[in-house]
């Protein structure tokens, strides 16, 4: 891929990147194992995420050395804000580490804003095909989610958005999520309601918004408005939050298939005090060099 130029030749700095996605939730990945980041990552995230003038993606993910795990992941949304965690992103980080020879450990450990996560790799033809992630236990205390809605966690709590009222269940998987059950996810005006809930005063650190249609006790369909990125094809932490909310509201069982616009994730929450496990694919699209 030819270099993309974001600055004059005199001040240009070359940086290698890799485009990867999990169920279409795509990020630009930059490994700091063999290069230094010589620009502000928040500004870089805005630049590279632009689908017309940049590489294109839902954000930027940095893969860096860690003294606690095989690597450290930092993720930045398309608007430059830093997120605590990305479920689809962490699967891709695990694939990058293994496929690019940084580690051959299986399972692999990755340090995130949520803490150190353990990921089991499914290898096909010498490369990572799917990843099962121990996402840790859900955070259910409303003050830690954080949300001003009452309950630990709030379940089907009324939320007034303009002239509309919604029943919202709030769960954190290291980042905050608002789950709304609807009869038809395709018909829900997520593009207008999503940003209003993201910035609602009930969520002091903003929130990821998910609308969910229950298809059966072990199957749901969902769509996502991601904090800082807008509508995305998939959200791994959001799917985990949906799995937890389904159990706690009695709508679904502990093992659930979540169908997102980009594909399907397998979720398992074996007990109230247990970790949530998420299994899904990780795909490398292309690599390149950009200058800025």
Residues identified as active-site: 86, 235
Cβ density class 154-192: b for 16+ within 10 Å, e for less: bbbbebeeeeeebebbbbbbbbbbbbbbbeebeebebee
Please report, in angstroms and rounded to a whole number, the separation of the first and last CA atoms in the chain. Answer: 16
Supply φ then ψ for residue 140, to 5 degrees: -115, -15
Answer yes or no: are the C-beta atoms of 196 and 162 closer than 8 Å.
yes
| Distance from C-alpha of 261 to C-alpha of 190, rounded to nearest angstrom | 13
Would the CA dihedral through 113, 116, 120, 122 be positive or negative? positive
* Half-sphere CA count of 255, side-chain side, radius 13 A: 1
Distance CA 91, CA 282 (A): 6
Residue 64, judged by CB atoms within 10 A of its CB (0-12, 13-18, 19+), counts as middle
Q: Rounded to whole angstroms, how far apart are CA atoms 204 and 286?
A: 37
Rounded-to-integer distance, Cα 288 and Cα 2, Å: 7
Per DSSP, what are the bridge partners of residue 118? 109, 134
DSSP H helices in the chain: 41-49, 87-99, 190-198, 236-248
């Amino acid at each position: 891929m030819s270099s993309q130029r974001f600055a004059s030749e005199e001040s240009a700095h070359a940086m290698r990147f890799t485009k990867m996605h999990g169920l279409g939730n795509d990020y630009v990945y930059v490994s700091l194992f063999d290069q230094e980041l010589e620009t502000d990552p928040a500004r870089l995230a805005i630049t590279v995420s632009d689908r017309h003038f940049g590489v294109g993606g839902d954000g930027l993910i940095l893969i860096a050395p860690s003294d606690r795990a095989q690597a450290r992941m930092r993720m930045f949304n398309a608007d430059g804000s830093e997120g605590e965690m990305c479920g689809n992103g962490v699967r891709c980080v695990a694939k990058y580490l293994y496929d690019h020879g940084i580690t051959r450990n299986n399972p692999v450990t990755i340090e995130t804003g949520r803490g150190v996560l353990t990921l089991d790799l499914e290898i096909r033809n010498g490369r990572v095909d799917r990843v099962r992630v121990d996402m840790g236990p859900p955070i259910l205390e409303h003050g830690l989610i954080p949300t001003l809605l009452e309950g630990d966690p709030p379940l089907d709590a009324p939320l007034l958005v303009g002239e509309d009222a919604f029943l919202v269940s709030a769960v954190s998987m290291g980042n905050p999520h608002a789950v709304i059950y609807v009869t038809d996810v395709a018909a829900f005006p997520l593009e207008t309601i999503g940003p209003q809930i993201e910035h609602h005063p009930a969520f002091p650190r903003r929130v990821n918004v998910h609308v969910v249609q229950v298809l059966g006790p072990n199957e749901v369909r969902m769509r996502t408005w991601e904090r800082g990125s807008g509508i995305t094809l998939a959200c791994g932490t959001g799917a985990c939050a949906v799995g937890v909310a389904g159990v706690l509201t009695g709508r679904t069982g502990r093992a659930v298939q979540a169908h997102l616009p980009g594909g399907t994730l397998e979720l398992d929450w074996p007990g109230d005090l247990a970790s949530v496990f998420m299994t899904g694919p990780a795909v490398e699209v292309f690599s390149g060099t950009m200058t800025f």
